[in-house]
Chains A and B, each alone.
Chain A
Amino acid sequence: MKKSKNPLIRILGNKKWQFITIPVFAFLCSIIAITLIILLIGKNPGVAFHSLLQGSGILPKPKYAAHKGIITDFLEMLDMLTPMIFAALAVAVAFRAGLFNIGVSGQMLAAGFLTTITIGYSSLNAGLAKPLCLIMGAAVGALAGCLIGFLKYKFNINEVVSSIMLNYIFQYIISYFINTRYVDPVSRQSRDVSATARLTLQNVSAGDYKMKLPICIIIAVFAAVFVWFFFKKTRQGYEFHAVGRNVTASKYAGIKVGKTIVLAMTFSGALAGLSGVTYYMGYFSSIQPNTLASTGFDSIAVSLLGNSHPIGILASSFLITVLSKGSTYMSSTAGVRYEVASLIIGMILLFSACGAYIRNTVDRYTKEKGAENGNNNN
């Protein structure tokens, strides 16, 4: 293939690096679009982006309250990031097997609630309570996921329908129990979990700073690496992939499709459960009745933005969390409404959804160029 004159086409046309250059190009396009929008409402886009990054602890703010600093902001952002990584991984695992887990929110809620009332309100010591929280959360999530997989395998119930139904069922039942038994009369939410069970350490002093320490972020990163290993190196992981690509061919190859579907949903549910406990017992310490966490729905987009690849998901969850975390600070300092942050996220997703189109266009362009050059040489 001849090298094109246009440097943009040359960079984007490089097959080897397309998996990274195309998303970056899409991201830059969306930043340009957002810049135009912010200019249109008469604000300074530079200030807006700068304060977004300041709010999420990437860049230093001009002044801080006592015991606060860039490190505390950054750790708070990581605190928000942890459940997002787990949730996006949950979506990716199901997606790998051709299943669409739209019920991450419901599984999160179920895991968060059951773990809160059993371990969160118990008086176990920290060394026992924290690992138990994670195990319990994963187990509850896995059960909920398993149910969805089983309904699909046994009764041919579309997983989208059953998980939407389960979302509502969990939401209402749990809201009933919180309102009748576990409610805090002041906040109208469930009572706070004990500090020993909470998965994010509060008020850790280091130097002059008092910060939150989201210890589970390490487990989240580890989980992403594990999922990558599972997809890439294990037989079961390959079977997920095979079933996701072609059910009939997998059947002929001797893969037990039903078992794979149930397993994939169970695995996905377990990750969603981990997301639930780190959300309701780490980032927050209580559950608001009658609401599903938006993390569960956002994670679908985050997972797809990361191309359903575990390492890509680490990057995309980081990006999205930075944007949403910084939005409050942006609206207070730059005077740009915090809704703009979700607009930015939407734009990024919109442009990255067009990745396939950009790739095809570039490929066609390089091919035409190549053909033209070939003719000239003749």
Chain B
Amino acid sequence: METIIIDGLSFALPIMIIAVGGIYSERSGITNLALEGLLGFGAFSGGLFVALMSGYFAPASPTLIWLSFLIAMIGGAIYSMLHALLCIKFQANQVISGVVINILSVAITGFLTSQINTSVFGKPSDKFVLSVFQRITIPGLSKIPVIGAVFKDFYPFEVLIIVLIIICWYILYCTPFGMHLRACGDNPQAVDTAGINVNKVRFIAVLFSGALSGIGGMCFAYSISTNFSPAVYMGAGYLAISALIFGNWKIMPTFLACLIFGFARSGAYQVVKYMKLSSSFSDLAMTIPYILTLLLLVFFSKNNRAPRALGEIYDKGKR
């Protein structure tokens, strides 16, 4: 039971932060299929930073780890500018742009990782090794039955993610900027009439999605394999997209969707382990979160509605 909660959270929270990024972008009216590419590029920049700087820090230094998150965030944001430029300035179809960003991200990071490894570090390898991110336990709270597992053996980045989610929730729903952002996705002409630059708001929203996806990507790089390799492109971005659509483009329901995902996944693993089934059964068990999601959608998606102006290029002349 404890393991279900511990593993479930460490999978659900990174997906959630990526999904929040997606919500920002999509609520502002920019379809964001690029989350997968953004998280990969973020993780790449973080990984590159660690590989370059690890000589100057003590092994497994927490400063380096937190700095790598900052760099991943910046890297993701910079890369997402490409998506923003294509969608806003160059009037590209947003679906096309998203797919292009993903393909390009896999190509660029794969190419640069092996190129830098050979020419800078002189060893042919397709990954950057990261230090192990220690899990921590809060002494008192972790003793509470069942719920205590939330405070046990968690990665420090999970705290960061929760703080960020709260901040993002506040910005989106309680500040003027958040209101403008949401209005841009539903009625951009009205926003323009109110004297606010639609394209600027959308640009910032896409930057948010890049930065948040970068953090999510870095989390996966640490938690799955403690290195950056092309294995980080394992479909987390697409999962985040489905979570945010499941959550009807709202932060709290999306959070719930991510938790269902995470717990169903770790729960299924534990069941296989507990019943001492062979490892090939874990493949069957892995379908549970996805089947569960589909079933839940059958009941809960009747009233789902995308932001009205989602995917449309803003055209001043249109009414």
CB distance from A178 to the nearest CB of B (A): 9
Least CB distance, A4 to chain B, in whole angstroms: 22
Closest Cβ of chain A: how far from B237's Cβ, in Å?
10
Whether a CB of chain A sits under 8 angstroms from the CB of B276 is no
The answer to the question of B316 belonging to the interface, with a C-beta cut-off of 8 Å to chain A, is: no
Tell me if A160 and B245 are in contact (CB < 8 A): yes
A157 contacts the other chain (CB 8 A): yes
Q: Is A6 an interface residue (CB 8 A)?
A: no
Q: Which of A234-242, A279-287, A296-304 lies on the face that meets chain B? A: A296-304
In the bound complex, residues from chain B placing their C-beta under 8 Å from that of A345 are 103, 107
Separation of A26 and B203 alpha carbons in the complex (Å): 24
The segment out of A48-56, A137-145, A262-270, A354-362 that lies at the interface is A354-362
Are the C-beta atoms of A343 and B90 separated by less than 8 Å?
A: no
State which of A173, A337, A357 has its C-beta within 8 Å of the C-beta of B90.
A357
Query: Is there an interface contact between A164 and B242, defined as CB atoms closer than 8 Å?
Result: yes
The residues of B that contact A357 with a CB separation of less than 8 Å are 89-92
Could you tell me the distance between the alpha carbons of A161 and B241 in the complex, rounded to whole angstroms? 8
Main secondary structure of the interface of B (DSSP, over half): helix
Chain B CB within 8 A of A329 CB: no
Q: Select one of B89, B92, B294 contacting A162, CB under 8 A.
A: B294
**B99 located at the interface, meaning its Cβ lies under 8 Å from any Cβ of chain A in the complex:** yes
Contact (Cβ within 8 A) B239 A164 = yes
Contacts of A156 in B (CB 8 A): 301-304
- Give the residue name and chain of the B residue nearest to A174 (CB): B283
> Within 8 Å CB of A297, what residues of B?
99, 102-103
In Å, the complex CA distance between A162 and B296 comes to 11
Q: Does A365 contact B (CB under 8 A)?
A: no
Contact of A353 among B86, B110, B245 (CB under 8 A): B86
Given A100-B95, A345-B107, A356-B92, CB of A160 within 8 Å of CB of B283 = no
CB-CB contacts below 8 Å: A304-318 with B: 304
Q: Which chain B residue shows the least CB distance to A176?
A: B283
Contact at B242–A161, with CB atoms within 8 Å?
Answer: yes
Chain A contact residues, majority secondary structure: helix
Cβ contact of B291, chosen from A169, A300, A339, cutoff 8 A: A169
Collect the chain B residues with CB atoms within 8 Å of residue A354's CB: 86, 90, 92
Query: Once the chains are docked, how many angstroms separate the CA of A239 from the CA of B93?
Result: 22
**How far apart are B12's CB and chain A's nearest CB, in angstroms?**
16
Task: Establish whether residues B103 and A172, one from each chain, have CB atoms under 8 Å apart when the complex forms.
Answer: no
* CB of A304 to closest CB in B, whole Å: 5
A290-B302 Cα distance, complex, nearest whole Å: 32
Q: Per-residue CB proximity of B70-110 to A under 8 Å, as 1/0?
A: 00000000000000001001111101110110111011101
Q: Name the B residues within 8 Å of A46 (CB-CB).
A: none
B238 cross-chain contacts in A, Cβ below 8 A = 102, 164
Question: B91 contacts which chain A residues (CB < 8 A)?
Answer: 356-357, 360
What are the interface flags for B234-267 relative to A under an 8 Å C-beta threshold, 1 for contact and 0 otherwise? 0100110110011000000000000000000000
A41 in the interface, Cβ–Cβ < 8 Å?
A: yes
Contacts of A157 in B (CB 8 A): 294, 297-298, 301, 304
Other-chain contact of B97, A158, A180, A343, A353 (Cβ < 8 Å): A353
B290 lies within 8 A of chain A by Cβ? yes
Sorting the interface of chain B by its residue count into under 10, 10 to 19, 20 to 34 or 35 or more gives 35 or more
- A304–B93 contact, CB under 8 A? yes
Q: Is A340 an interface residue (CB 8 A)?
A: yes
Establish whether residues A155 and B111, one from each chain, have CB atoms under 8 Å apart when the complex forms: no
A360 to B89, CA, bound (A): 12
Q: Is the CB of B110 within 8 A of A176?
A: no
CB neighbours (8 Å) of B193 from chain A are: none
Contacts of B291 on A, CB cut-off 8 Å? 165, 169
Q: Is B286 an interface residue (CB 8 A)?
A: yes
B293 touches A353 (CB 8 A): no
Complex Cα spacing A279 to B168, Å:
44
Q: A176-B280, A353-B92, A356-B91 are in contact. Are A337 and B103 (CB under 8 A)?
A: no
Query: With an 8 A cutoff between CB atoms, is B115 at the interface?
Result: yes
Interchain nearest-CB distance for B249 vs A (Å): 11
- Inter-chain contacts of B306 with A (CB < 8 A): 158
Question: Which residues of A in the span 142-190 have a Cβ within 8 Å of any Cβ on B?
Answer: 151, 155-158, 160-162, 164-166, 168-169, 172-173, 175-176, 179-180
A298 to B107, CA, bound (A): 12
> Is B297 within 8 A of A304, CB to CB?
no
Q: Does A374 contact B (CB under 8 A)?
A: no
Q: How far is the CA of A102 from the CA of B242 in the complex (A)?
A: 12
B103's nearest neighbour on chain A, judged by CB, is A346
**A175 CA to B107 CA, complexed, in Å:** 27
Residue pair A298, B103 in contact (C-beta under 8 Å) = yes
> B107–A342 contact, CB under 8 A?
yes
List residues of B (97-150) whose CB comes within 8 Å of A's CBs.
Answer: 97, 99-100, 102-104, 106-108, 110-111, 114-115
Instruction: Find out whether the CB atom of A155 lies under 8 angstroms from the CB atom of B297.
Output: yes
User: A304 and B99: CB pair below 8 A?
Assistant: yes
Which are the 4 A-B pairs with shortest beta-carbon distances?
A346-B104, A339-B111, A342-B107, A176-B283
Interface residues of A (CB under 8 A from B): 41, 100, 102, 151, 155-158, 160-162, 164-166, 168-169, 172-173, 175-176, 179-180, 289-290, 297-298, 300-301, 304, 337, 339-340, 342-343, 345-347, 349-350, 353-357, 360
Q: Can you list 22 contacts pairing A with B, beta carbon distance less than 8 Å?
A: A157-B301, A157-B304, A161-B245, A164-B241, A165-B291, A166-B290, A166-B294, A168-B290, A172-B283, A172-B290, A175-B283, A179-B283, A180-B280, A289-B283, A290-B283, A297-B103, A298-B103, A300-B99, A337-B114, A340-B111, A343-B108, A356-B93
B contact residues vs A (CB 8 Å cutoff): 86, 89-93, 95-97, 99-100, 102-104, 106-108, 110-111, 114-115, 235, 238-239, 241-242, 245-246, 280-281, 283-284, 286-287, 290-291, 293-294, 297-298, 301-304, 306
Beyond A155-B301, A353-B93: 10 further Cβ-contacts under 8 Å?
A: A151-B294, A151-B298, A157-B294, A164-B239, A165-B291, A290-B283, A337-B115, A339-B111, A346-B103, A355-B92
